[in-house]
A = this chain, B = another copy of it.
Amino acid sequence: MSHEQYQSIILNLQECVQACNHCYDACLQEDDVKMMRQCIRLDRECADICVLLAQALSRGTPFAGELASVCAKICEACGIECKKHQHVHCQRCAEACFKSAEACKQLTG
Protein backbone atom coordinates (compact mmCIF):
# COMPACT_ATOMS: atom_id res chain seq x y z
CA MET A 1 0.00 0.00 0.00
CA SER A 2 1.36 3.42 -0.94
CA HIS A 3 2.05 6.15 1.63
CA GLU A 4 -0.72 8.24 0.00
CA GLN A 5 -3.33 5.51 0.47
CA TYR A 6 -2.29 5.17 4.10
CA GLN A 7 -2.58 8.89 4.66
CA SER A 8 -6.00 8.91 3.10
CA ILE A 9 -7.19 6.16 5.48
CA ILE A 10 -5.89 8.08 8.50
CA LEU A 11 -7.75 11.16 7.24
CA ASN A 12 -10.99 9.17 6.90
CA LEU A 13 -10.58 7.89 10.45
CA GLN A 14 -9.98 11.37 11.83
CA GLU A 15 -13.05 12.71 10.04
CA CYS A 16 -15.06 9.84 11.48
CA VAL A 17 -13.81 10.63 15.01
CA GLN A 18 -14.93 14.22 14.65
CA ALA A 19 -18.29 13.30 13.17
CA CYS A 20 -18.93 10.74 15.94
CA ASN A 21 -17.93 13.12 18.69
CA HIS A 22 -20.00 15.94 17.24
CA CYS A 23 -22.98 13.58 16.89
CA TYR A 24 -22.51 12.39 20.49
CA ASP A 25 -22.44 15.97 21.74
CA ALA A 26 -25.48 16.95 19.67
CA CYS A 27 -27.46 13.80 20.63
CA LEU A 28 -26.97 14.67 24.30
CA GLN A 29 -28.59 18.04 23.59
CA GLU A 30 -31.57 16.69 21.67
CA ASP A 31 -35.06 16.78 23.21
CA ASP A 32 -35.54 13.11 22.34
CA VAL A 33 -32.32 12.08 24.08
CA LYS A 34 -33.95 8.83 25.18
CA MET A 35 -34.33 7.81 21.54
CA MET A 36 -30.68 8.65 20.94
CA ARG A 37 -29.14 6.39 23.59
CA GLN A 38 -27.84 3.76 21.23
CA CYS A 39 -26.48 6.46 18.96
CA ILE A 40 -24.67 8.13 21.89
CA ARG A 41 -23.19 4.81 22.92
CA LEU A 42 -22.04 3.78 19.45
CA ASP A 43 -20.63 7.23 18.70
CA ARG A 44 -18.27 6.76 21.64
CA GLU A 45 -17.33 3.17 20.75
CA CYS A 46 -16.63 4.24 17.18
CA ALA A 47 -14.63 7.36 18.05
CA ASP A 48 -12.41 5.40 20.45
CA ILE A 49 -11.48 2.60 18.05
CA CYS A 50 -10.94 5.03 15.14
CA VAL A 51 -8.63 7.11 17.34
CA LEU A 52 -6.67 4.02 18.32
CA LEU A 53 -6.37 2.82 14.73
CA ALA A 54 -5.34 6.24 13.40
CA GLN A 55 -2.63 6.46 16.08
CA ALA A 56 -1.52 2.88 15.47
CA LEU A 57 -1.27 3.39 11.70
CA SER A 58 0.71 6.58 12.07
CA ARG A 59 3.29 4.78 14.23
CA GLY A 60 3.67 1.80 11.92
CA THR A 61 1.77 -0.76 13.99
CA PRO A 62 2.33 -4.40 13.03
CA PHE A 63 -1.40 -5.01 13.69
CA ALA A 64 -2.95 -2.80 11.00
CA GLY A 65 -5.10 -5.56 9.51
CA GLU A 66 -6.47 -6.92 12.79
CA LEU A 67 -7.29 -3.49 14.17
CA ALA A 68 -8.79 -2.30 10.90
CA SER A 69 -11.04 -5.33 10.77
CA VAL A 70 -12.65 -4.66 14.15
CA CYS A 71 -12.72 -0.92 13.41
CA ALA A 72 -14.64 -1.55 10.19
CA LYS A 73 -17.28 -3.55 12.10
CA ILE A 74 -17.74 -0.86 14.73
CA CYS A 75 -17.89 1.92 12.12
CA GLU A 76 -20.58 0.01 10.24
CA ALA A 77 -22.64 -0.62 13.36
CA CYS A 78 -22.43 3.05 14.26
CA GLY A 79 -23.30 4.13 10.73
CA ILE A 80 -26.36 1.84 10.63
CA GLU A 81 -27.64 3.27 13.93
CA CYS A 82 -27.00 6.90 12.96
CA LYS A 83 -28.65 6.39 9.57
CA LYS A 84 -31.98 5.67 11.36
CA HIS A 85 -32.21 9.18 12.80
CA GLN A 86 -33.16 12.26 10.81
CA HIS A 87 -30.96 14.75 12.67
CA VAL A 88 -28.39 16.32 10.36
CA HIS A 89 -25.56 15.35 12.74
CA CYS A 90 -26.68 11.70 12.62
CA GLN A 91 -26.91 11.61 8.83
CA ARG A 92 -23.48 13.20 8.49
CA CYS A 93 -22.05 10.82 11.05
CA ALA A 94 -23.51 7.82 9.22
CA GLU A 95 -21.81 8.98 6.04
CA ALA A 96 -18.44 9.43 7.79
CA CYS A 97 -18.76 6.02 9.44
CA PHE A 98 -19.50 4.19 6.19
CA LYS A 99 -16.61 5.99 4.48
CA SER A 100 -14.30 5.07 7.34
CA ALA A 101 -15.47 1.43 7.27
CA GLU A 102 -14.66 1.30 3.54
CA ALA A 103 -11.23 2.78 4.22
CA CYS A 104 -10.55 0.17 6.90
CA LYS A 105 -11.40 -2.61 4.50
CA GLN A 106 -8.44 -1.60 2.31
CA LEU A 107 -6.25 -2.75 5.19
CA THR A 108 -7.88 -6.09 5.88
CA GLY A 109 -6.88 -7.72 2.60
Q: Sort chain A's interface into a size bin.
A: 35 or more
Flag if A37 contacts B47 (CB, 8 Å).
Answer: no
Flag if B48 contacts A63 (CB, 8 Å).
Answer: no
Flag if B49 contacts A28 (CB, 8 Å).
Answer: no
Flag if A21 contacts B55 (CB, 8 Å).
Answer: yes
Which of B34, B55, B59 interacts with A34 by CB under 8 Å? B34
Per the bound structure, the CA–CA distance linking A69 and B63 in Å amounts to 12
Per the bound structure, the CA–CA distance linking A10 and B11 in Å amounts to 13
Flag if A55 contacts B45 (CB, 8 Å).
Answer: no
Beyond A49-B52, A51-B51, A59-B21, whether A37 also contacts B28 by CB under 8 A is yes
Residues of B within 8 A of A58 (CB): 17-18, 21-22, 25
